[in-house]
Amino acid sequence: MTQQLRDRLGRFGIWRTSAQVTPDLAAGVERLGFGAVWLGGSPDGELAIVPQLLGATSTLMVGTSIVNIWKDDAATVARSYARIEASYPGRFVLGVGAGHREATKEYASPYDKLATYVDQLQAAGVPAEGLVLAALGPKVLRLAGERAAGAIPYLVPPEHTRLAREILGPDRLLAPEHKAVLDPDPERGRALGRKRVENPYLHLVNYTSNLRRLGFADEDLAGSGSDRLIDALVAHGRPDQVAAQLSAHLDAGADHVVVQLLTANDADLLPGYADLASALGLEGEPG
């Protein structure tokens, strides 16, 4: 089951908020050899953007990272999954998660809510092999291993990937997100990465709690984050240096690494993706 999903996703995908992804961008990253586009920013449960992206591509996978369980009811999301699967079988992965307590006034007993939501999705026809969970801590990672195809941790270094693989076991998908800045100047690269990490993630308790579990201290998380923290969470440097940092997740047990490319100007992302695809050894068309 999961091996087929691993093969379809390939080693590397990209992460963008759903509002930033267009059919042209999806077609472009497919040509470069990336295996998937993951849609962040809590895409709407109707998932209207997904068929547009799948229709503009031929092999690219599309996943959600994530549908927020407090925002959209499971019945709506299950109907969307069935509609997409009927038109584009095997090319969509439904990622769901509890999001952040700071953004949801109803936020209470998130583990129980997530487990119930998984029950409801599966009762409505969403198969385990089409479902992945946003998981950071051991309890939700175990749920992802027992009830879904695997986990899609966000804002994690390779050390988390190693621990997550131990909890999930060998036969579940593990697809961590990692940020990247293509800039040979370490100060500029770190500054751009710090801006994205500090706001909002250093103000969200689920992420700061997870980073503390990984050994980061209060001084690492204070202010806009220590250099040690930013360097662990944002790969920066020349394309070959960034590729090596991203590949550390594969060495730690990941199946698929989700790259969030950070740039000062998002007007034209494809040149950066092309440089990165080349450094990663992806088999796509030249940029």
Residue ranges per domain, the chain?
2-177+239-260
| Per-residue pLDDT at 217 | 98
| Per-residue pLDDT at 55 | 98
**CA dihedral (277, 153, 269, 92) positive or negative:** positive
Sequential pLDDT tens for the chain (287 residues): 479 999 999 999 999 999 999 999 999 999 999 999 999 999 999 999 999 999 999 999 999 999 999 999 999 999 999 999 999 999 999 999 998 665 555 657 899 999 999 999 999 999 999 999 999 999 999 999 999 999 999 999 999 999 999 999 999 999 999 999 999 999 999 999 999 999 999 999 999 999 999 999 999 999 999 999 999 999 999 999 999 999 999 999 999 999 999 998 876 799 999 999 999 999 886 55
CATH 3.20.20.150 is held by the domain 2-177+239-260: no
Q: Which helix (H) or strand (E) holds 255?
A: none
- pTM, full prediction: 0.96
Q: Which of 57, 64, 122, 46 is nearest to 88 (CA)?
A: 57
Separation between Cα atoms, residue 193 and residue 104, nearest integer Å: 26
Q: How many alpha carbons fall within 13 Å on the CB side of residue 80? A: 23
| Per-residue pLDDT at 135 | 98
| Per-residue pLDDT at 165 | 98
Please answer whether residues 151 and 63 qualify as being in contact, where contact means their C-beta atoms are separated by less than 8 angstroms. Answer: no
Total length of the chain: 287
DSSP string, 155-195: S--HHHHHHHHHHH-TTSEE--EEEEEE-S-HHHHHHHHHH
Burial code (b: 16+ CB inside 10 Å, e: under 16) for 45-84 equals bebebbbebbebbeebbbbbbbbbbbbbebeebbbbbebb
**Helix 239-251 with 270-280: angle, nearest 10 deg:** 60
